[in-house]
Amino acid sequence: MDYDFDLFVIGGGSGGVRAGRVAAMGGAKVALAEEYRMGGTCVIRGCVPKKLMVYASGYAEMMDDAEGFGWTIGNRSFDWGKLIGKIDDELDRLEAIYRKGLVGNGVQVFDARAVVKDGHTVELSSGETFTAKWILVATGGRPFVPNVKGAEHVITSSDIFLMDELPKRVLIVGGGYIASEFAGIFNGMGAEVTQFYRGAQILRGFDGEVRGHVADEMIRKGVNLHLGTDVVEIAKKEDGLHVTCTNGSVKVVDEVVYATGRVPNTEELGLENAGVKLGRKGEVMVDRYSSTSCDSIYAVGDVTDRVQLTPVAIREGMAFVETVFNDNPTAVDHEFIATAVFTQPEIGTVGYTEEDAREDFDIEVYRAAFRPMANVLAGRDERMLMKLIVEKASRKVIGCHIIGPAAGEMIQLAGIAVKMGATKEDFDRTVAVHPTASEELVTMKEPVR
């Protein structure tokens, strides 16, 4: 059968763009449809603008610290509109790069919503219909807002980048990394920040000691963190949004930001027309090669709800091309993926938490908590935490957790060692780089547990 395209990609985020571009570079005839902006969650409403906001929010603290090093800082103020304008310019630049990469390599781009009609056919919101030998679903995810009374008054992480001004009083609902990152961002910019999380501690799924350390430092920096607390009702009144809490109290704020998880974008995508099986949360069910229950349809990225990280989506997109177009079946290795969380303080983590490791292995735990050099003259009590989880039998480092400045940069390099199977003795044989905070990773001699 003759098809219009060899590959039709639905979704212009990191995974879909990479797969489409690389397949086209290899000679395939490729189309890609994106209904909003090229770049997906990461570029348009996620990692990139968020990290720029993290940078912006950190300058107040940096200016405070500068005085401890002899600098005199004059009058200062923060201009939300100026920052958003600069971020918008950068997103426009990145989006253009994504589009150029596709078009320049021969991908036909459709600025339209695509739905699946059957295993080889897609229909666009423009009314056009196309056939393809292969269809790749890469539609990502979106923020989830629970059915709370007054939910029409809340915003999500996606809406933050569209706000006209910085709210003076913000309530963040949620305890994951997105909620905790934005709590730090708004706090650093000078807003009065309250964070509600219904669980016993924020950052579920991370190492327990890391969770407690970050929560304590966030509170010390000014975030009004309430654990075991949720929202009952939100009412809009003249002086702001009145939020009734589960403990009966009422909090008045200017904005309520919900960051209570994300759900895959599979609604009204037509996947049932091709017999594609979905999971309980609407995620596309795939095997290790990203193949769905329909032989001609694959899926990568957040829509599969495997590991919701941009580099993972890109890896999955590349593996798809190898599998389908290069006759080289390739599965993505999802073990030991290093991750940075841009809370304030920052987290870098790879491998097992102490709690999970104890369930599967006999382990040793090495730990260092210290005040970094920069904080001494700044007069800041904030401490860094570094932690290694070692399996006794193999001596391999199976977990590494860092909290503090540049933790994300450090964990990228530590992640190489952990992925390679480095032992504690390999770490010990490495000569320290002095004076740095990272030298603590190779100078921890005695296990604490």
Q: Looking at residue 370, what is its pLDDT?
A: 95
| 65 has a pLDDT exceeding 90 | yes
Q: Report the C-alpha gap between 88 and 49 in whole angstroms.
A: 8
| 241 has a pLDDT exceeding 90 | yes
- Take residue 131 and report the two structure tokens written for it: 């056939």
Q: Looking at residue 185, what is its pLDDT?
A: 98
Is 367 a member of any domain? Answer: yes
Pick from 230, 260, 290: which residue ends a domain?
260
Greatest CA separation for the chain: 74
Pick from 271, 303, 325: which residue ends a domain?
325
Is 423 a member of any domain? Answer: yes
Q: Looking at residue 1, what is its pLDDT?
A: 79
- Take residue 322 and report the two structure tokens written for it: 């190898």
Is 448 a member of any domain? Answer: no
| Same domain for 279 and 222 | no
Q: Taking residues 360-364, report their average pLDDT.
A: 98
| Same domain for 137 and 9 | yes
Q: Which amino acid is at 69?
A: F
The pLDDT confidence band at residue 268, using thresholds 50, 70 and 90, is: very high
Is 331 a member of any domain? Answer: no
| Same domain for 125 and 18 | yes
Peptide bond into 447 cis (omega under 30): no
Nearest one of 255, 251, 254 to 242, comparing CA atoms:
251
Q: How many distinct structural domains can be found in the chain? A: 3
Burial of 200 (0-12, 13-18, 19+ CB in 10 A): exposed
| 85 has a pLDDT exceeding 90 | yes
Is 447 a member of any domain? Answer: no
Contact 6, 32 (CB under 8 A): no
Note the pLDDT tens digit of each residue in 406-435.
999 999 999 999 999 999 999 999 999 999
Contact 84, 185 (CB under 8 A): no
Q: Looking at residue 288, what is its pLDDT?
A: 96
**Percent of the chain topping pLDDT 70:** 100
| 315 has a pLDDT exceeding 90 | yes
Q: Active-site residues: which are they?
A: 434
| Same domain for 283 and 205 | no
| Same domain for 208 and 312 | no
Report DSSP letters for 268-319, one per residue.
TS-GGGGT--B-TTSPBP--TTSB-SSTTEEE-GGGGTS---HHHHHHHHHH
| Same domain for 267 and 250 | no
| Same domain for 238 and 192 | yes
Is 332 a member of any domain? Answer: no
Is 424 a member of any domain? Answer: yes
Q: Looking at residue 28, what is its pLDDT?
A: 98
| Same domain for 397 and 297 | no
Q: Taking residues 192-199, report their average pLDDT.
A: 98
- pTM over 0.75? The answer is yes
Note the pLDDT tens digit of each residue in 148-181.
999 999 999 999 999 999 999 999 999 999 999 9
Is 374 a member of any domain? Answer: yes
Judged by average pLDDT, the poorest of 120-124, 307-311, 397-401, 421-425 is 307-311
| Same domain for 48 and 124 | yes
Q: Taking residues 194-205, report their average pLDDT.
A: 97
| 128 has a pLDDT exceeding 90 | yes
Q: Looking at residue 216, what is its pLDDT?
A: 97
Note the pLDDT tens digit of each residue in 107-122.
999 999 999 999 999 9
Domain that holds residue 369: 339-442
| Same domain for 268 and 123 | yes
| Same domain for 187 and 230 | yes
Token look-up 């966030």 returns 218
Residue 144 to residues 64, 148, 173, 186, 262, Cα–Cα distance (Å)? 37, 12, 11, 21, 5
Q: Report the C-alpha gap between 312 and 300 in whole angstroms.
A: 9
| Same domain for 163 and 136 | no
Burial of 343 (0-12, 13-18, 19+ CB in 10 A): buried
Q: Judging by DSSP bridges, how do beta strands 339-341 and 347-351 pair with one another?
A: antiparallel
The pLDDT confidence band at residue 326, using thresholds 50, 70 and 90, is: very high
- Take residue 97 and report the two structure tokens written for it: 């790069």
Q: Is the backbone of residue 39 left (phi > 0), alpha (psi -120 to 50) or beta?
A: left
Report DSSP letters for 255-274, one per residue.
EEEE---EEES-TTS-GGGG
Query: Which CATH number is 161's domain given?
Result: 3.50.50.60
Query: Which CATH number is 395's domain given?
Result: 3.30.390.30
Q: Looking at residue 242, what is its pLDDT?
A: 98
Pick from 325, 348, 364: which residue ends a domain?
325
Report DSSP letters for 129-178, one per residue.
EEEEEEEEE---EEE-----BTGGG-EEHHHHTT-SS--SEEEEE--SHH
Q: Report the C-alpha gap between 58 and 70 in whole angstroms.
A: 19
What average pLDDT does the structure give for the chain? 96
| 373 has a pLDDT exceeding 90 | yes
**Exposure letters 28-49 (e unless 16+ CB within 10 A, then b):** bbbbbbbbebbbbbbbbbbbbb
Note the pLDDT tens digit of each residue in 251-260.
999 999 999 9
